[in-house]
Amino acid sequence: MSHDTARILVYSDDRTTREQVRLALGRRVASDLPEIEVYETATQPAVLSAMDGGGFDLLILDGEANPAGGIGLCKQLKDEIAECPPILVLIIRVADSWLATWSRADAVSMYPVDPVRLPSAVADLLRARPGRAA
């Protein structure tokens, strides 16, 4: 993670969901962490292309996205990228938590997007990231 910014990739086919996530995160998720830059993607190919470029500190994937859901995409990224950044998956049903565990998601957050819980979960993941500057 850069000392200046934390780069977060948000994936959802729903523009409203991406906007809710961006607004919930704001410019900084915690006072002890750098400001964030949010990059929005609406398709699985766009996520894969962005990941090829690298440089993301965290990904937030919409488990309800269509046609490629965030849970399956999380599994693909964790399987294919040796040092995959932490991934938080947004889920709508508590019962989907086991699928998120199967996909090796580092965290889950429930819909609707919660402007208190989501930034807190993101801050925890950013703090735990290897190589984070203190």
pLDDT (tens digit, 9 = 90+) per residue, 35-77? 999 999 999 999 999 999 989 999 999 999 999 999 999 999 9
Does residue 133 surpass a pLDDT of 60? no
Range of the domain at 57: 5-128
133 within some domain: no
Instruction: List the beta bridge partners of residue 88.
Output: 60, 107
| Mean pLDDT, the chain, whole residue set | 92
Share of the chain above pLDDT 90, in %: 84
User: What pLDDT sits at residue 34?
Assistant: 95
- With the C-alpha atoms ordered 8, 12, 13, 17, is the resulting torsion angle positive or negative? negative
Contact 99, 73 (CB under 8 A): no
Q: What is the CATH number of the domain that holds 39?
A: 3.40.50.2300
**Residue 80 — pLDDT band, cuts 50, 70, 90?**
very high
Give me the number of domains the chain comprises: 1
User: What pLDDT sits at residue 96?
Assistant: 82
Q: At 59, which helix (H) or strand (E)?
A: strand 58-62
pTM exceeds 0.85, yes or no: yes
Does residue 84 surpass a pLDDT of 70? yes
57 within some domain: yes
134 within some domain: no
Contact 76, 69 (CB under 8 A): no
